[in-house]
């Protein structure tokens, strides 16, 4: 039977147990997470008609390491930064900033990132982040839901056929690779920690 220690996300090993120090550390981690998300959004691989960012990988890793509460809080802070006009998203400031950008073609995917963080964080809170297969399955479900939300929003803007062609198909292989990579990395870190 798993103990309470083994049922907490990875970051819990570095958090003070209680009080102001814990809150300050969580705030620091959330801000650091938004910086990682911004950096990953700006890191692009050009494949065909669309740019593929490393943002999905960053969302998966943050959620798996932080757990559901801190992971979702980090994503919500990131969305708030974007809504306030900070150029934190992939196409900002070139395509727009703030709410105008968030209601554009990537709006469904951005909302999907929060759902993705909730699902993967929930799995990490239950110890699935120690098992590559369980974590992969949770991340795959999160990925599919995020893509479905992105597709649905984009379909409202440009129609379902173009949405599928430009908003889903070009990302399938890359995102599956990112899911597999994230699902391997987090359990690998747990294995290293057990040995040390």
How many C-beta atoms surround the C-beta of residue 91 within 10 A?
17
6 falls within a domain: no
Please answer whether residues 115 and 145 qualify as being in contact, where contact means their C-beta atoms are separated by less than 8 angstroms.
yes
> What residues have CB less than 8 Å from 144, skipping those under 6 apart?
none
Q: How many domains does the chain have?
A: 1
Q: Which domain holds residue 38?
A: 12-195
The whole-number pLDDT of residue 45 equals: 77
**pTM for this model (two decimals):** 0.90
27 falls within a domain: yes
The whole-number pLDDT of residue 2 equals: 43
120 falls within a domain: yes
Which pair of tokens denotes residue 20? 């102001």
The whole-number pLDDT of residue 54 equals: 93
pLDDT under 70: residue ranges of the chain: 1-6, 47-50, 196
5 falls within a domain: no
> What residues have CB less than 8 Å from 145, skipping those under 6 apart?
112, 115, 116, 119
7 falls within a domain: no
Q: Any idea what the CATH number is for the domain that residue 52 is in?
A: 1.10.1760.20
108 falls within a domain: yes
The whole-number pLDDT of residue 169 equals: 93
Measured between alpha carbons, how far is 177 from 22 in angstroms, rounded to an integer?
34
Using alpha carbons only, give the angle 164, 54, 33 rounded to the nearest 5 degrees.
125
2 falls within a domain: no
Whose CA is closest to 15, among 26, 3, 31? 26
pLDDT digits (tens, 9 = 90+) for 107-139: 999 999 999 999 999 999 999 999 999 999 999
169 falls within a domain: yes
């Amino acid at each position: 039977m798993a103990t309470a220690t083994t049922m907490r996300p990875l970051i819990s090993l570095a958090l003070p147990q209680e009080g102001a120090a814990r809150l300050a550390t969580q705030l620091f981690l959330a801000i650091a997470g938004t910086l990682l998300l911004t950096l990953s959004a700006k890191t692009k691989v050009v494949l065909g008609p669309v740019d593929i960012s490393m943002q999905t990988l960053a969302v998966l890793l943050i959620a798996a390491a932080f757990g559901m509460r801190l992971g979702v809080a980090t994503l919500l802070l990131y969305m708030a930064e974007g809504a306030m006009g900070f150029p934190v998203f992939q196409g900002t400031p070139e395509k727009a900033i703030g709410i105008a950008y968030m209601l554009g073609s990537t709006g469904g995917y951005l909302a999907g990132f929060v759902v993705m963080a909730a699902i993967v964080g929930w799995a990490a809170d239950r110890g699935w982040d120690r098992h590559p297969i369980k974590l992969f399955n949770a991340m795959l479900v999160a990925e599919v839901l995020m893509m479905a939300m992105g597709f649905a929003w984009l379909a409202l803007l440009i129609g379902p056929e173009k949405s599928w062609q430009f908003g889903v198909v070009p990302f399938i292989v890359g995102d599956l690779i990112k899911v597999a990579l994230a699902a391997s990395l987090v359990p690998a870190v747990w294995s290293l920690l057990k040995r040390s």
